[in-house]
Chain A
Amino acid sequence: MISSLETAIPMNSFEERPHESGRRPAAGPRAVQPKLTVRGLNAWYGKNRALHDVNLTVAPRSVMAAIGPSGCGKSTFLRCLNRMHELIPGARAEGTLLLDGKDLLGRDVDPVSLRRRVGMVFQRPNPFPTMSIRDNVAAGLKLNRVGGNHDEIVERTLRQSALWEEVKDRLGASALSLSGGQQQRLCIARALAVEPEVLLMDEPASALDPIATAKIEDLIHELKERYTIVIVTHNMQQAGRVSDHTAFFYMGDLVEVGPTEKIFTNPSEKRTEDYVTGKFG
């Protein structure tokens, strides 16, 4: 796992500065192709520019945390990765976004099929209120007419999201009968059921109590065995606990990205240090 850390390379072309890990290391025999590559990503809301020239890569089967104060662009960044950003009226994104080396932002790329490969979990649990627990998990399969044994997939993904034991006797009950933390794990199971390769999580625990939060964090540790995860969080301790790499956003800039340990103990940038030590934000 440590070797994959080297694949998180900041390439902030907007600022030329010597960077401890800022140059691509000689590709060793164990170099891995990044799962996600972001180059020169800019995003706008109308005339408002929310992201300036973001460059980073995410290694496969790792967790990348995006941190920063409110309005810094970290959620916008996340929503660019599955092209949910462009659904907001007036919003657009430009740049290069590669998934396994293939472009995602091109005009000929269908965002609908992209979203089946890049799943998303939102800040607030948002199960479908008209559907049962089982139907919620299978919703992506049913609505997309994916075949296969849905019951089996429902059980597997509910086990993956550590919810199975709590709901196995009432799969037919309304999803709204679950607690907030359970609903959020249900939403994770729902996202996993369509078998994405990348899972985006937009502050998945911010609406939950500490116990439910701990469960979600444990879950992230297990999920990274199989999935590439990008998580946005307000909570720096959480970023420290769950992520392999951390990207610090500020005012629409990607200030610094690197191994989580380094970002929190020995950041190269003054702004990063000020933020992670709590001087602002």
Chain B
Amino acid sequence: MNSLRWRGCVNAFWTVASGAGVLVALVPLASLLWLVVSRGAKGLSASFFVSLPTPVGEPGGGVGNAIVGTFFMVGLASLMALPVGVGAGVYLAEKGNGPGGRVVRFTAEVLAGVPSIVIGIVAYGLIVAQMKRFSALAGGVALALLMIPSLARSTEDFIRLVPPALREASLALGVPGWKTSLRVIIPTALGGIVTAVLLAVARAAGETAPLLFTALNNQYWNTDPSQPTASLTVQIYNYAISPYEDWHSKAWTAALVLLMLVGLLNLMARFLSRNRMAGAR
């Protein structure tokens, strides 16, 4: 009886303690959201999404070119990273238990651990120094290098979630191994792979360091891969380090736009993975 009451006390204590832990963990997230929304919301307007930046003191203006630039460079990066990253993930899941797989996995882990500023320098050395010009292409390559390892690992994870019984079922029908992967395993994991792609895109869209000295910035519209290109993150950086109050508030608004964009991608990824995984079980 006594021990039962004691156990009840211990239970109550830890319930309260873990609840408090959750609250503490939520404080930074909530305060971050509050700060960005409260400072950024007042500058938000339709024209902010579609206008070019204006000089200091001139009212109006927006980050339209930076939004387009972010999409453009993330798109370029996805074109390069998707085949490599997803392909490596499929390879790791299917054949990754041999020495070849260990090499690929180790490489991906090392690449994932490289600080993004270093990746920016690499892209600078590979592309900018050769072309003697900052460009969207260099920005895209830097973002692609960042996306590949995470794509490879999460694609591998999602393919490994496919029950081995499905592979056996297909092989037992006399379907060759490669066709089993392509037509049975990958379609079953497709929801997860799309989720992984969306998360990688969201992460790339939020990166500043790799773009600082690859794509640089641009005050005008640009969709030419060989030209410097604006991005939301670098635009925020430039606004934030400027000495002008006007630009500071624009930095907050641009940060809010970026947060909404990344949040939307994450929500889509979450929604897709929940639907698909419910189907696969």
Contacts and interface: CB of A to CB of B under 8 A. Distances in A.
Interface stretch (B50-58, B143-151, B175-183, B216-224): B175-183
A84 B171 contact: yes
Nearest to A190: B173
A143 B170 contact: yes
B169 interface: yes
A126 B169 contact: yes
A88 B168 CA distance: 11
B165 A126 contact: yes
Categorize the interface residue count of chain A.
Answer: 20 to 34
A241 to B, nearest CB: 25
B172 A119 contact: yes
The binding surface of chain B is classed by DSSP as helix
B173 A143 contact: yes
Contacts of B280: 129
Given A124-B165, A126-B163, A113 B187 contact: no
B220 to A, nearest CB: 46
Contacts of B169: 122, 126-128, 187, 190
Contacts of A89: 97
A47 B176 CA distance: 28
B180 to A, nearest CB: 8
Categorize the interface residue count of chain B.
Answer: 20 to 34
Contact of B172 (A84, A127, A128, A129): A84
Contacts of A124: 165
Contacts of A130: 184, 187-188, 190
A128 B171 contact: no
A115 B172 contact: yes
Interface in A131-174: 139-140, 143-144, 174
A82 B173 contact: no
A90 B279 CA distance: 33
B46 to A, nearest CB: 41
B260 interface: no
A116 interface: yes
A259 to B, nearest CB: 29
A80 interface: no
Contacts of A99: none
Contacts of A174: 279
B163 A144 contact: no
Interface of B: 97, 163, 165-166, 168-176, 179-180, 183-184, 187-188, 190, 279-280
11 contacts: A116-B174, A126-B163, A126-B165, A127-B169, A129-B188, A139-B170, A139-B173, A139-B175, A139-B184, A140-B174, A143-B180
Given A87-B168, A176-B279, 15 more contacts: A84-B168, A84-B172, A87-B171, A89-B97, A112-B175, A122-B165, A122-B168, A126-B169, A128-B184, A129-B188, A139-B170, A140-B173, A140-B174, A187-B169, A190-B173
Nearest 8 Cβ contacts at the A-B interface: A116-B174, A140-B173, A120-B172, A126-B165, A115-B174, A143-B175, A126-B169, A130-B187
